[in-house]
A and B are shown apart, each in its own frame.
Chain A
Amino acid sequence: MAEFKHKDIIALRDLTKEDIERLLTTAENMREINSRDIKKVPTLRGKTIINLFYESSTRTRTSFEIAGKRLSADTVNITPSSSSATKGETLADTALNLLAMKPDIIVMRHAVSGSHYFLSKKLPGCSIINAGDGTHEHPSQGLLDMLTMKDRFGKLDGLKVAIIGDITHSRVARSNIQGLTKLGSQIFLAGPPTMMPPGVELLGNVTVCGTMKEAIQDADVVMMLRIQQERQGKTLMPNAREYSRYFGLNPENIKLAKPDAIVMHPGPINRGVEMSSYVVDGDQSHVLKQVENGVAVRMAMLYHVCGGELE
């Protein structure tokens, strides 16, 4: 298998099939650490990781922090409410100030798509990991979703994956589409026309379906996306109830998918809107497995970027 040579992980679009497979294999093998009594290995001793989160996050930030600590790195969290960003400091200045403290990895979440490429150019001596940028990508979520599917089905090649909801604003959907199509899965999308980006089928093996029923018919995986009120700006749907009626997953329409299909959601879930509680808490739901896999995937990302080639 090819070696992983990237110093940054900003988008799954930038990685090859082999890179993704390497990250998933490492994550699988690192998972054992998380079930030990002593959940720590000395691998990244002496490395400093800064978690720079310009947008709110519980799951991703905690997961990256735990991942860093389990590899013995020192992790520091910076959130905008307590940082100089509120006092008007630009991203470039913040970056240079952080660099003066000699971090090895910066994990950033930012509302502006592509801001990580900017950061990477400013900081050639430091690894950058994207924890979500605007409506672009969320690679760690894409990878943990792929790991969850691989756990269940043993492979990704040939899987039928339905992604339902607000595709336009979903960086989770973009990372999944980029990664899954590289590994041979078929993607079926459904959502309100106002939330479907034009040209999305050009990304590879992607089919845009007219209705949700069409998309989840015989699916192996049904991935429900969160309605992102904070990113939509203006109203793209009449109301939550109507959305739920056409694009919500419930005990009835889930029967259209394969009997052993799994249900996924990146969280946080709006219960009763994207999914009924019956489905969220049902046997097919893999939501908590996704969170569990998140730590292992992020450990793999931190490990491999540390071995990447610095410019």
Chain B
Amino acid sequence: MADEKTVIMDGAGVKRALTRISHEILERNKGLTNVVLIGIRSGGAFLATEIGTTLALIEGEKATVGAVDITLYRDDVSGQMPHLPVGKTEIPFSLEGKKVILVDDVLFTGRTIRAAMDALMDHGRPDSIQLAVLIDRGHRELPIRADFVGRNVPTSLRENVQVIFDSANTPVEVILEK
């Protein structure tokens, strides 16, 4: 599968996309009041931290950032042999009345987002959930769309899109594998 690798976005490109998404988030929500960022483990959680840092730079106030692990909410748990390792969900604040920005690296079938929304609902009743993704590669299997998109990348089902992070969890590039 990984015969051919193409870099479709480099580190600077990722940074620009995240900066634009940050501005869009602020514009849509009129600032950071009641806004919380929650990243989906593992890529989305790293990106949420990046966006949080950018938001703090623009607005001059700290953004609240959490992480959600969706393993226990997957719709294919009973098909997984052996069961996947369970990561840590870190939402040490209430979601009641919050505007949640859910962050993921690649939006594909939409099943991960469905699972993440179910997980968030179990933590309380947010005012709204908005979705921010770095890459939207299409092929949705559920009625889900993103509010903030870094780049739309048309792909075939045989291809694979991956966001690569370095050891400090900073995104370095996005690759397309054929």
Q: Which residues of A contact B (CB under 8 A)?
A: 1, 3-5, 22, 25-26, 28-30, 32-33, 36-38, 40-44, 46-47, 71, 300, 303-304, 306-309
Contacts and interface: CB of A to CB of B under 8 A. Distances in A.
Given A40-B122, A46-B78, A307-B82, 9 more contacts: A26-B86, A29-B87, A29-B89, A32-B89, A37-B124, A300-B86, A303-B86, A306-B78, A307-B81
A269 B10 CA distance: 62
**Interface size band for B:** 20 to 34
A155 B136 CA distance: 41
Contacts, number: 61
A43 B82 contact: no
A25 B81 contact: no
B83 A41 contact: no
Nearest to A300: B86
A5 B83 CA distance: 8
Contacts of B131: none
B104 interface: no
B89 A43 contact: no
A133 B42 CA distance: 40
Interface string B69-81: 1001100011011
B154 interface: no
B85 A22 contact: yes
Contacts of B119: 41
A59 B119 CA distance: 29
30 contacts: A3-B82, A4-B82, A4-B83, A25-B85, A29-B69, A29-B87, A29-B88, A29-B89, A30-B72, A32-B88, A32-B89, A32-B90, A38-B123, A41-B72, A41-B73, A41-B122, A42-B73, A42-B118, A44-B77, A71-B72, A300-B86, A303-B72, A303-B83, A303-B86, A306-B78, A307-B80, A307-B81, A307-B82, A308-B82, A309-B82
Contacts of A46: 78
Interface in B63-110: 69, 72-73, 77-78, 80-90
Contact of A1 (B72, B83, B85, B90): B85
Contacts of A41: 72-73, 119, 122
A36 B85 contact: no
Contact of A306 (B73, B83, B88, B90): B83
Nearest to A310: B81
